[in-house]
Structures are given as structure tokens and as C-alpha cells.
Amino acid sequence: MILQPEEAKVSVYDRGFLYGDSVFETIRTYAGEPFALDEHLARLERSAGRVAIPLPLPRADFALEIRRAIRAARNPESYVRAMITRGSGPMGLDTGLAEKALRVVLVEPLQALPATMYRDGVAVTTFKTRRAADEVAQGAKVSNYLTSMMALKEARAAGAHEALILDGSGDVLEGTTSNVFALTQGVLVTPPEEAGILVGITRAHVLEVAGELGIPVRVERLPLETLRSATEVFITSTLREIVPVVRVDGQEIGARVPGRTTRAIHAAFRQKVGLGAEPLPWEKAGD
């Protein structure tokens, strides 16, 4: 059923509302088509499995619903959030109280970042913590983003675009809604899944593109000192693609401008998604 936002209703007894008991995926379109939809839905299914939420319908049927919702929205390009909650039931932590899993697909117009962020790069801050979901549902994209929200709040107060989460040892894990890469001594380094990160879909495509370009890659722990001494740093996410980082906690990175490797990877990624003929994000006019 397709509804306008003001018509859609979710029970106050839904466990996604009460306990953050839900999983989700963020998907974007290119030329109106959802990019890497099968990969996103496969990860959604893995996330649901890790927190024991039964899928309310087969993946193929969910893909059809998402495509139908995108067409109905009629946006030039869309940002999609596909969400599954455990459902509603009497209050209590017992997951058996949930009656039936609920699915929701939200479709919004895609809002691109200002070209200046790609042209000049962004600043990030760091936030040391231990995420509650690391042990019980590592790798699941669950809806409890409290740590990330607090980290991003601090980052924005400092005038930064993103916050990078550090583990108890001071190693860089990921951003609040992004994965992180550092170019150090000519090698591209990104933290491994076993560190407790959410393995991003864009991250996987960037690793593939880097291999095609002949850029050496290591998936390994990323100490904060290594990040700060890197020649280039960038973050990746579904909505932002690849964003160069030029300052970490106020310290300038490399030459203080987006680097050639970052540019090359982003250009190759745009070719991969079918936008090779369009201006690159940092080439666009305006802010």
C-alpha cells in the first residue's frame, strides 16, 4: 500500500519505536534505478537474521515493492529507507511478544552534498566509544544509532561534517554513517569487518574499483596515528559516494586538499554507476 507521509501510521506498541528493535537499509537511485538493490536486500536479510527478526516477505517481492514505491514518488533521484521492525505486541523485552514483522519503505528526493565538499574536502572529528551492538549483533544494520547521533552532534558543534568512531584501543572503525579509507605509503587501508564495523555496500565497490585501478589495498586495523599521518583520507556512503577528508580533529591531512587517488577512485566509481558522461561532483557549478 502506497501512502502519503501524513496518512501512514505505525502503532506506538511497535518494537521499533519502543526498543529500536528493527533493521534497515539505505538505498539510492541513479537514473531512477535503485543501485545495488540485490546487495542491499541481501545485507538487510543478514541483519534481520543476526537479530532474529523474521523476514515478512521474500527478498524478490520486497525488491518489487521498493521499485514500485520509487516509481510512485516520481523524484528525479530518490533516497530510499527500507525498514523491518519485529512488529507490535504487549510491552516487554521478550521478543516472543511481537505479533508480526512490519516493513516500511520511505522514499525521499535525493539531496546531493554541496559541490564544495567534494572540491575542497571536509573536516571530521573522532569519538571514542564501545558500541552496545558490537557483541550481540556485530555487522547488523540496526536502528539504534544513539552513539552515532551523539558523536555527530559533537562533530557538528565543532564545525565538522562527520565523526569517526574509535574503539577502546583508539583504532578508527568507521564514521557515524560512513566507512573510512586512508592512503598511507601508497597503500589504501580500511578497517576489517571483525573490528566491529558495518560493511558498507559502497565500501565494497570502492575496494573493487581500487583493485581495477591497480591501487594496493590492505583491510586491517587503522590506528588513529596512521590516519592522521596519511597522505589522503576519504569516507564512503551510499548517499555521499566518496567524500575527501582534509582535516581530522583540526589536524590537516596530507597536502590539505583532496588527493589524486581519491579523485581517481571517485571518477572510476561514477563510471561504474553509469555517470561517466556527467560532470564529476567537484566539477559542478555553485556551492
Catalytic residue among 141, 153, 272, 284: 141
Residues 277, 282, 283, 287, CA torsion sign:
positive
Look over the chain and give the mean of its residue pLDDT values, rounded to a whole number.
94
Q: Could you tell me the pLDDT band of residue 3, with boundaries at 50, 70 and 90?
A: confident
Bridge-based pairing of strands 122-128 and 162-166 is: parallel
The pLDDT score that the predictor gives to residue 287 is 63
The pLDDT score that the predictor gives to residue 93 is 94
Asked if the model's pLDDT at residue 134 lies above 80, the reply is no
Local structure of 226: helix, strand or coil: helix
The pLDDT score that the predictor gives to residue 107 is 98
* Domains along the sequence of the chain with CATH: 15-109 (3.30.470.10), 115-283 (3.20.10.10)
The pLDDT score that the predictor gives to residue 132 is 43
Q: Which pairs with CB-CB distance under 8 Å and at least 24 residues apart come from 94-103? A: 95/15, 95/21, 95/52, 98/15, 98/21, 100/56, 101/53, 101/54, 101/55, 101/56, 102/10, 102/14, 102/16, 102/56, 103/56, 103/57, 103/62, 103/65
200 in Cβ contact with 176 (< 8 Å): no
Give the mean model confidence (pLDDT) for residues 101-119: 96
Q: What is the pLDDT of residues 55-106, one digit of tens each?
A: 999 999 999 999 999 999 999 999 999 999 999 999 999 999 998 999 999 9
Give the mean model confidence (pLDDT) for residues 22-42: 97
Amino acid at 97: L
- Radius of gyration of the chain, Cα coordinates, nearest whole angstrom: 19
Q: Could you tell me the pLDDT band of residue 130, with boundaries at 50, 70 and 90?
A: low
Q: How open is the CA angle 277-211-241, to the nearest 5 degrees?
A: 50
The pLDDT score that the predictor gives to residue 144 is 84
pTM: 0.93
Per-residue cell: 83: 525498514
Q: Active-site residue 9, yes or no?
A: no
The pLDDT score that the predictor gives to residue 286 is 64
Instruction: Write the DSSP assignment of 48-70 as a string of letters.
Output: HHHTTPPPSS-HHHHHHHHHHHH
The pLDDT score that the predictor gives to residue 258 is 97
